[in-house]
Structure 1
Amino acid sequence: AVRAALAKLPKDAPLDQVAELIKRTAFKITRMGQLVGNLAARELGVPFGIVDLSLAPTPAIGDSVANILEEMGLESCGQCGTTAALALLNDAVKKGGVMASNHVGGLSGAFIPVSEDDGMIQAVRRGSLCMEKLEAMTAVCSVGIDMVVIPGDTPAEVISALIADEAAIGMVNSKTTAVRVIPAIGRSAGEELDFGGLLGYAPILPISKYSPKVFIDRGGRIPAPMQALKN
Structure 2
Amino acid sequence: GVDFIGGYSALVQKGYTVGDRKLIASIPQALAKTSHVCASVNVGSTKAGIDMDAVKQMGEIITQCARLTKEDNCLGAAKLVVFCNAPEDNPFMAGAFHGVGEPDAVINVGVSGPGVVRAALAKAPKDAPMNDLADLIKRTAFKITRMGQLVGTAASRKLNIPFGIVDLSLAPTPAIGDSVAYILEEMGLETCGAYGTTACLAMLNDAVKKGGVMATSHVGGLSGAFIPVSEDAGMIAAAKSGVLTLEKLEAMTAVCSVGLDMIVVPGDTPSSILSGIIADEAAIGMVNSKTTAVRIIPAIGKSVGDELDFGGLLGKGPVMPVNMEDNSVFVNRGGRIPAPMQALKN
Name the TM tier (shorter chain).
over 0.9
Which residue pairs with 1:216 in the alignment? Answer: 331
CA distance in 2 between partners of 1:32 and 1:222 (Å): 42
CA distance in 2 between partners of 1:71 and 1:19 (Å): 13
Which residue pairs with 2:134 in the alignment? Answer: 19
Are residues 20 and 212 of structure 1, via their aligned partners in 2, closer, same or farther at CA, if it must alter by over 3 Å?
same
CA distance in 2 between partners of 1:199 and 1:41 (Å): 28
- 1:60-209 equivalent positions in 2, closer than 5 A: 60-209=175-324
Spell out, residue by residue over 1:7-53, the C-alpha distance to the aligned partner (whole angstroms, 9 max, x if none): 11001000000000000001111112222322222222232221111
CA distance in 2 between partners of 1:134 and 1:162 (Å): 11
RMSD value, Cα: 1.0
User: How far did 1:223 drift?
Assistant: 1.2
Which residue pairs with 1:56 in the alignment? Answer: 171
| TM-score, normalised via structure 1 length | 0.97
Gaps of at least 5 residues in structure 1 are none
Q: Which amino acid counterpart does residue 342 of structure 2 have in structure 1?
A: Q
CA distance in 1 between partners of 2:158 and 2:228 (Å): 34
Which residue pairs with 2:84 in the alignment? Answer: none
CA distance in 2 between partners of 1:154 and 1:47 (Å): 44
Matched, 1:225 2:345: no
Spell out, residue by residue over 1:47-73, the C-alpha distance to the aligned partner (whole angstroms, 9 max, x if none): 222111111111110110100110111
Spell out, residue by residue over 1:202-225, the C-alpha distance to the aligned partner (whole angstroms, 9 max, x if none): 110010011011111222111111
CA distance in 2 between partners of 1:170 and 1:110 (Å): 15
CA distance in 2 between partners of 1:36 and 1:185 (Å): 41
SS of the aligned residue for 2:291 comes to coil
Which residue pairs with 2:118 in the alignment? Answer: 3
CA distance in 2 between partners of 1:173 and 1:192 (Å): 33
How many residue pairs match? The answer is: 231
Q: Which amino acid counterpart does residue 181 of structure 1 have in structure 2?
A: I
User: How far did 1:84 drift?
Assistant: 0.5
Are residues 190 and 42 of structure 1, via their aligned partners in 2, closer, same or farther at CA, if it must alter by over 3 Å?
same
CA distance in 1 between partners of 2:298 and 2:167 (Å): 30
| TM-score, normalised via structure 2 length | 0.65
User: How far did 1:156 drift?
Assistant: 1.2
SS of the aligned residue for 2:261 comes to strand
User: How far did 1:127 drift?
Assistant: 1.4
SS of the aligned residue for 2:231 comes to coil
Decide which structure has greater strand share: 2
Q: Higher relative CO (CA 8 A, sep ≥ 6), structure 1 or 2?
A: 2
SS of the aligned residue for 2:199 comes to helix
Which residue pairs with 1:35 in the alignment? Answer: 150
CA distance in 2 between partners of 1:181 and 1:173 (Å): 22
**Range with bigger deviation, 40-49 or 145-154:** 40-49
Gaps of at least 5 residues in structure 2 are 1-115
CA distance in 2 between partners of 1:157 and 1:170 (Å): 20
